[in-house]
Amino acid sequence: MHIAPFDNQNKPIVDAGDSLVPLNYFNIVKLKKGESFGYAVPGFETCIAPATGLLDVSTGGFEAKNLGGRGVDVWDGEPEGVYVPSGQEARFTCLSDSAEVFVAGAKFDEVLEPFAVRADEIDLVQYGSDDTKTHRKIKHILGANQHERVGRLLVSELFTVGAGGWSGFPSHKHDTDRLPDETRHDETYNFRFKPNYGSGLQMLQREDNEPGDAYHIVDGSTICIDKGYHPCCVLPGYEMYYFTILGGLSQRSLKQYFQPTHAEQLHTIPGIMDMVAKFK
């Protein structure tokens, strides 16, 4: 499902108990200097990740000072985040002139310990190639490095490298718990483009070799994926970014099932198995 950009007034875009992606939570919070925002999501662990701006964050007696710091957009520096345990109240205050803050969540009942992930702790993987039109970079905020400290939530930033190309290819899905082949993970994206008038396409194919759906995505588009194969692409001449939230049904590690029709492409894309290994 495509949710077009709109002024959500700091209210969840994907709320707890969403009918399409019940394992996910997503909010975008916009603040001016000195403004604060507080929240708690019962039954959901969350991650506070500034898209832009600088924050002070507090939750359950834990404090993270000067979190974030990117300037004009998500290409302007490295991501940072704070993990907030399930149902715990959190508050953040804007220190810069303005801030745009992503709040990502996954359904999880156990209460763990809060912590911060700084820029030098980001788990980075780059794979693909210009020749195969699959060159991209992934910055895991809550990835393999934090596996033992988080319940079911995976949070990453994905960038196309260069201008134009495909992401999420070879086509894959993760909508059914059937280990060792696949896990059920609901997924939510928020897209940005550089320049911001760029755009792209999100495909969603429900059945192998059967026609599916396609959504025109623009700067600020949110995509919710409950099931099906889901590659996406950006127009030539533009760069694409998307903030990614994954919430697992029974485990944190993501096990993708690659579409049989295109599985041979796994052998043509440099470094793709390194990418697969990092979603833990």
pLDDT tens for the chain, 280 residues: list them.
999 999 999 999 999 999 999 999 999 999 999 999 999 999 999 999 999 999 999 999 999 999 999 999 999 999 999 999 999 999 999 999 999 999 999 999 999 999 999 999 999 988 888 888 888 899 999 999 999 999 999 999 999 987 888 998 888 999 999 999 999 999 999 999 999 999 999 999 988 888 999 999 999 999 999 999 999 999 999 999 999 999 999 999 999 998 888 888 878 887 777 777 767 6
Looking at the domain assignment, is residue 20 inside a domain?
yes
DSSP state of 179: T
Tell me whether residue 49 is in a domain.
yes
Assess contact for 248 and 24: CB atoms under 8 A: no
pLDDT for residue 280: 67
Structure token pair of residue 56 = 């002070």
Longest dimension (CA), the chain: 53
- Asked whether residue 5 is domain-assigned, the answer is no
Q: Which two tokens stand for residue 90?
A: 């959190």
**60, two tokens:** 């359950």
CATH code for the domain of 139: 2.60.120.10
How is residue 269 written in tokens?
């894309």
Number of Cβ within 10 Å of residue 67's Cβ equals 24
Cis status, amide bond into 5, omega within 30 of 0: no
The predicted structure's pLDDT at residue 40: 98
**Contact criterion met (CB below 8 Å) for 233 and 168:** no
Per-residue pLDDT, 163: 81
Report the distance separating Cα 185 and Cα 261, nearest Å: 22
Domain-embedded: residue 100: yes
Q: Range of 183's domain?
A: 14-279
Structurally, how many domains does the chain consist of?
A: 1
Q: Show the DSSP H helices in the chain as ranges.
A: 272-278
169, 265 contact by CB (below 8 A): yes
pLDDT for res 262: 85
User: Has residue 40 been placed in a domain?
Assistant: yes
Residue 116 lies in a domain: yes
Give the whole-angstrom CA distance, residue 184 versus residue 253: 10
